[in-house]
Chains A and B, each alone.
Chain A
Amino acid sequence: MQQPYLLTILTFLPVAGALALLLAPDDDHVLIRRLALITATAEFAISLLLFRGFNSQLAGYQWEELHNWIPQPPIHYHLGVDGLSLFLVLLTTLLTPISMLASWKSINERVKGFFICLLVLETGVIGVFVSLDMFLFFLFWEVMLIPMYFLIGIWGHERRIYAALKFVLYTMFGSILMLVAMLWLYRLTAVAGTPTFDIPQIQSMLSSGTITLPAVTEMLLFGAFFLAFAIKVPLFPLHTWLPDAHTEAPTAGSVMLAGVLLKMGTYGMLRFCLPLFPEAAHKFAPAIAVLAIIGIIYGALVAMVQVDLKRLVAYSSVSHLGFVVLGIFAFHVISIQGAVFQMLAHGISTGALFLGVGMLYDRRHTHLIKEYGGLATPMPVLAGLYLFSCFASAGLPMLNGFVGEFLILAGTFQRHADWSAWAALGVIFSAVYLLWSYQRVFFGAVTKDKNASLPDADLRERGILFLMAAIILWMGMGSPFFTRRIEASAQNVLQLMQRPQAAYDAGVIRGGAEMNSMNLNRFAMPANGNNAGTVNSK
């Protein structure tokens, strides 16, 4: 029933498109743009096939592929998706063609390189989401840096070189320590007798107690992984690369960066930090939650005082991603579902905001709020659609931002009411900075003569923004479509966090009966995934 190579096709189709682009003549911009867009659209269409045959009841990996790659040390080409990564893959395949469309007219220099970078970036990001081998994961994680580096550095704005370098160095610092941690984990599996980089296999070794991590080791490993992901997210004190990178990147770069690249960090936390190192995760959770809450409030407050519209949207990401981290480290199934949903919602609504800002920039070549004012008069359509994205981002009910934030807050409330209370402040602040900036840009009389005659959104821009608005509304109204598919995997993350010893301790406190059922669950859940794995990989 399932196509055996679907994920491979999804991962490498963009690169194939990029290679085809290499052969295209340098100055035939129309051909280059079309070819790139066709590739990206085909990619999106193919990614929709993932739904066919995706069993939302299964917690384990689906569409698995497993091949030998490097024998020494044993590294496998192992791909698969579950409820956590399914929609992130779709988000990537959706945002890539959209960001291509958004740069249709604004990129006129080195057009070929630009689209090649976008396509390679797509491969890197999808690869991260579908890799089930630590080595492969790391490979894609790093590969994705280079196209992003070029996107910011070549096609960005004034301080682009500084921003690009900062982005790469920050990420690299985190990821190289993650590599050391991965190898350390590998050594532990080797000592246990079955050396492997395979994530599900390591997971089951840890869950079954074949390898036990001493507390200090676990904390160090957790720290190394978490640091890499926290930089990517970015969590509060590590966020300083983000405003620069977002502001200086071209529109397509900002959309991809905010839309999917940041999610690689939160995805990594769900995939590695929680299930592999539960003890350490529990130990650090309060500290991380505090940082997340600081991020939520601080990001919102800083966004409020920005004079640069794009920087404002960038800081709003710090705030919104704080919610996601909070949801993850509340260890509640609802809050984790909410976190995954919020990743998608943020990708769409912040993506839409960046697209809107990009359209303004295309017209006036500035991001400064004071240069605008009263834009609703000359461009009512753009104003309306931008407002829609603002509402979504501010978490207005019926729109996608609300669902994510609500689930996160509701789930977190079950565990830590105080965390939830503090984080809720962020919801209020987000309405303040978004609507206030909106008011200054779009409402009132036209203050600058130049703005009076700006053209409204053309057909291409309308199409992009309407599509985003439709998705925002759909995600807001039809959220069960998403949460249903996320649920089993979110539950699974929590199941995987149980350890034999931990389950025993919990059992002593809560009583034996519960312990038994927990143990049963623990063995039942991964077994599902593994079975699916062996069948698919044949």
Chain B
Amino acid sequence: MYRVAPELVLCGFGMLVMLLAPVVPKARHGALAFISLLGAGLALGATRFVALYPGAAYSGLVRADAFSVFVHLIVIGAAFLAILGSVNYLKRENLDAGEFCALILFATAGMGVMAGAHELLTAFVGLEMSSIASYVLASYRRDEPRSNEAAMKYFLLGSFATAFFLYGIALSFGATGSTHLDLMTPLANDSSHTLLKIGLGLIFIGLAFKVAAAPFQMWTPDVYEGAPAPVTALLSTGPKAAAFALAMRILASIDGAAPVWFWALWVAAALSMFAGNLSAMVQTSLKRMLAYSSIAHAGYILVALTAAAASDHMEAGIAAALFYLVSYALVKLGAFLIVAHLGGEGERHVNIEDFTGLGRRQPAMAACLSVFLLSLLGLPVTAGFLGKFYIFNAALESNLVWLAILLALNSVIGAYYYLRVIVAMYMREPEIEIAAQPVPWTLALVLWIAVAGTIYAGLFPARIIGYATRAALNIR
């Protein structure tokens, strides 16, 4: 029980909010958001139980360990910030807060299951739980055609990918006779080795889709652009972290996964970096640019995973990936929430052009967005730099010099388009007048947390990387 406490809290509060939604008058639905926040906060606290009672639960379906705790903190923290940041957005867009928050809580519970799962079908249930909630969330602006298109695309392609994942599990089960990660050793005949390889390959495809890695990234820009921006903020952080966590678990736990996945990871990392960065360069919409940039960042994290796969002891790579996920989550949440807010009603002003002169109009917002962009770019003093630093370190430790150089080149390409936004904000005069948008305290709080976290992790990473390393050591 204790070992799944966060999920229980999340689901409990999700249902509570669902039950309250019809009872509470429409005008007061804002309160539901705060109840959900309370739920997310309690779930964050409940991860303490996971930390206090390490070990397997439900006959090995779920494992409570430092790794699980770390990922729980990322996904629940992301959900917390996403809910807090969308309170005002929902009011502005006239969307119902109750279902929205409940869906986020359910999705987060699913991600939590993925983080703790030590058995593939359990992981699959978690994956589905988070995916289905996300499909609905993506379509939450139901009057908006683009939102519907996003949801439809996400749903169709997502189902396709989950089918791959499931088929992969089936084949691996055939090859090993188990779906428990630590028991999955191929049976003693030649064909089962091949079968396991195919199974693992299919699982990889399913997960690569979820983390938006090339060549399975096609859905990302459309979905991220069409979905309501706070949902995009969540989609680009939580599910990604959970899917990466699952990938790391499989990589570390199944004997023989690392050699099978190594080249797949290598190629996916290189492709994602280039596909994401090169496409992001030519975008005119900031929201879409950030979507492409998250493909590139998935590529960076894949470099860390490749490093883990190439090395006998995987700590360095996995710890680097975990650290990067933290820094990335803070920054992407902040950036998308700023886009959500400044986009104005109906998210009409999400083009880079619309951000010209922001440095004068809203200096605080511009400063926050600059910090986020510089962190995405990987400039020192921000968490993004140290994240990249650890990835470089892990890659070189595994002798992946070429991949490290590709990563270096991509950082420079990235610099080009992130700086373009800063150019717009500070160095050009706006052609059209856009009114300043007063910042509500909820959003201000989220941005403060994100900025402070980004700079804290950029200057004093010792504690976070310490936890990440411990998590990485405990993964098996």
Contact = CB atoms under 8 A, between A and B. Distances in A.
Given A73-B393, A172-B411, A176-B408, A160 B462 contact: no
Interface stretch (B47-55, B198-206, B330-338, B374-382): B374-382
Interface stretch (A82-90, A177-185, A474-482, A485-493): A177-185
A186 B396 CA distance: 10
B408 A177 contact: yes
A165 B412 CA distance: 11
Contacts of A140: 380
Interface in A145-189: 145-146, 149-150, 153-154, 160-161, 164-165, 168-169, 172-173, 176-177, 179-180, 183-184, 186-187
A345 B412 CA distance: 33
Contacts of B460: 70
Nearest to A73: B393
B415 A183 contact: no
A179 B419 CA distance: 20
B423 A165 contact: yes
A180 B411 CA distance: 12
Contact of A153 (B381, B401, B427): B427
7 nearest CB pairs, A to B: A139-B380, A176-B408, A153-B427, A142-B380, A173-B412, A183-B396, A183-B392
A143 B377 CA distance: 12
A16 B418 CA distance: 28
Contacts of A161: 423, 427-428
A180 B408 contact: yes
Contacts of A25: none
B379 A169 contact: no
B412 A172 contact: yes
Given A71-B466, A187-B396, 15 more contacts: A70-B462, A135-B389, A140-B380, A146-B374, A160-B427, A161-B428, A165-B420, A165-B423, A168-B419, A169-B415, A172-B411, A179-B408, A180-B404, A180-B405, A183-B392
Contact of A70 (B385, B404, B405, B461): B461
A142 B423 contact: no
Given A71-B466, A180-B392, A186-B393, A154 B416 contact: no
Contacts of A168: 415, 419
Given A180-B405, A187-B397, A139 B415 contact: no
Contacts of B426: 150, 153-154
Interface of B: 374, 379-381, 385, 389, 392-393, 396-397, 401, 404-405, 408-409, 411-412, 415-416, 419-420, 422-423, 426-428, 460-462, 465-466, 469
Given A161-B423, A177-B408, A180-B396, A169 B416 contact: yes
A176 B393 contact: no
B318 to A, nearest CB: 14
Interface of A: 70-73, 135, 138-140, 142-143, 145-146, 149-150, 153-154, 160-161, 164-165, 168-169, 172-173, 176-177, 179-180, 183-184, 186-187, 190
B396 A72 contact: no
A180 B461 CA distance: 20
Contacts of A139: 380-381, 385
B78 to A, nearest CB: 25
The interface residues of chain A, by DSSP majority, are classed as helix
A228 B109 CA distance: 47
B396 A176 contact: no
Nearest to A143: B380
Given A70-B461, A153-B423, A165 B380 contact: no
B311 to A, nearest CB: 12
Nearest to A188: B396
Contacts of A146: 374, 379
- Count chain A CB atoms within 10 A of each CB in B401, B408, B411, B422 and give the residue with the most: B408
B370 to A, nearest CB: 9
B419 A149 contact: yes
B244 to A, nearest CB: 21
A73 B392 CA distance: 12
A160 B422 CA distance: 14
28 contacts: A72-B469, A135-B389, A138-B380, A139-B380, A139-B385, A140-B380, A143-B380, A146-B374, A146-B379, A149-B419, A153-B423, A154-B427, A160-B427, A161-B428, A168-B415, A168-B419, A169-B415, A169-B416, A172-B411, A173-B412, A176-B411, A176-B412, A177-B408, A179-B392, A179-B408, A180-B392, A183-B396, A190-B397
Contact of A177 (B381, B397, B405, B469): B405
A71 B465 CA distance: 9
Contacts of B408: 176-177, 179-180
A161 B405 CA distance: 28
Contacts of B381: 139, 143
- Count chain B CB atoms within 10 A of each CB in A149, A150, A154, A179 and give the residue with the most: A179
A177 B406 CA distance: 10
A138 B397 CA distance: 20
A184 B404 CA distance: 10
A70 B466 CA distance: 10
Contacts of A70: 460-462, 465
A152 B341 CA distance: 30
B405 A71 contact: no
A28 to B, nearest CB: 16
